Amino acid sequence: MMRGQESPLSASPALATVKARARKTGLRFWMERVLQECDQVCAGFGPDPVHDLRVALRRCRSIADGFIAIDPDPAWKEMKKAGRRLFSRLGELRDVHVMQEWVGKLASPSDPSAIALLQFLAAREIELKQEAALALNEFDRKQWRRWSIKLPRRTTRLRQGSMIFKHLALERWLHAHDLHRRAMRGRSRIAFHKLRIGLKRFRYIVENFLPEQHAAWGGDLKRVQDLLGEVHDLDVLWATATQIHAFPDEESRRRWQQTIADERNSRIHVYRDKTLGKSSLWYVWRSELPQGRQVASAALARLKLWASLLDPDFEHSQRITQLALQLYDGLTGALCVSAQAAEQRASVRARTS
């Protein structure tokens, strides 16, 4: 398998094991890991160090992405933005490394098209290593270390596996599932690319914030993401080969096109087997996310958390709201209250309960 070398959480059903693993892979762990991997990668920007630093950065950025949705502290966006340029430059370099692996897998060393591709990728690798080195030098490690102390403290306000995180996962699921349906209808390269990104965002919420679900789903989520990732790799390889005119003749072009199409289609076929029909993985994942009234309840819980993080004295605000509700009830008395007013009162009540 060409992608997805990051190990998932253990599939053990024991919650204690899941929680112990989570402590070793929390935000503080990954932010410190970024600094360690920065020291490792600068030795030569080889494939493994580049991959390891991207994994650490991606973990931090995906955790920040989750908390941005529920915590208004601007430091989350600042941290995510700080790693964007480095992550992007490393991503381009990683793409070159992956294409080099694919060329070695799909063709013999004497293939003229393979030789042309590898020569182009070697030159491009040198350029991208220089750009990655510049991005690494610009990366503010002191500020990153300050965030590594501040931000993990804010994560303690909300326990992993809570209904709020399940609601966030449901949002990601709904978006990704819509992209899945579009890809199954149109089957275009762009549709599969968007699906890959949508599924990735859903997976990261589950991976970072729902340890029990990740213990059960982690293997399947990783597998289907890898399948879509490899489809994307093959699309990028074909686009690169045609862009640089790597084929010496039409016969060579047809042979490469067929080889890449066969590899691509085989992965799409496996993806379809896992995600279509009554046993679709999409339905398995949806079954453990909020249903019915739980959706509204979880949404209100998110609003309450957001308000509590914004309000310097949330307990005082709760007391004021309780007094307002008492006055409302007293004034209405025996009067008939409309269904809309009753619903609005219930909404206010839910946010302070």
DSSP assignment string, 205-247: HHHHH-HHHHHHHHHHHHHHHHHHHHHHHHHHHHHHHHHTT--
* 68-80: average pLDDT: 90
Which of 3-17, 122-136, 196-210, 295-309 is predicted least confidently?
3-17
Write the single-letter amino acid at 188: S
CA atoms within 13 A on the CB side of 158: 26
Q: What's the whole-model pTM score? A: 0.79
| pLDDT over 90 percentage in the chain | 67
Among the residue ranges 120-124, 173-177, 195-199, 323-327, the one predicted with the least confidence is 323-327
Q: Which residue has the tokens 């908390």?
A: 67
- Write out the two tokens for 288: 């453990």
What are the distances in angstroms from CA 254 to CA 111, 125, 242, 249, 257? 14, 27, 11, 9, 5
CATH code: domain 15-287 is 1.40.20.10
Query: Quick one: angle between helices 211-243 and 250-275, nearest 10?
Result: 160
Lowest mean pLDDT among 13-17, 86-90, 326-330: 13-17
Is residue 350 predicted with pLDDT exceeding 60?
Answer: no
Residue with tokens 């008939």: 336
pLDDT beyond 90 at 98: yes
Residue of higher predicted confidence among 26 and 302: 26
Residue 20 confidence (pLDDT) above 80 = no
Q: DSSP code of 44?
A: T
pLDDT of residue 158: 80
Structure token pair of residue 85: 């340029």
